[in-house]
Amino acid sequence: MRGFDVPMQPELILGTKAGQIVVLDRATGQSLTKVTEIDVKPANIPG
């Protein structure tokens, strides 16, 4: 892009089937956004 002298960090943006958006550094694979994992109880649905 013209007028910008700042090099851009290469990133990979993924959308999941669950509606989450994940942004990763392409060089290291580290997440560029905060990721919070929450433990949930398993469902009691038979089958």
pLDDT above 90 covers a percentage of the chain that reads: 51
Q: Rounded to whole angstroms, how far apart are CA atoms 9 and 26? A: 8
For residue 11, give the nearest of 20, 1, 22, 3 by alpha carbon.
22
Number of domains into which the chain is organized: 1
Give this prediction's pTM.
0.58
Tell whether 30 is covered by a domain. Answer: yes
Which residue range(s) make up the domain with 14? 8-36
Give domain status of residue 17, yes or no.
yes
pLDDT tens figures, 5-23 = 767 778 999 999 989 899 9
- pLDDT tier at 35 (50, 70, 90 boundaries)? confident
Q: Quick check: is 13 in a domain?
A: yes
Residue 1: inside a domain, yes or no?
Answer: no
Structural domain contains residue 28 = yes
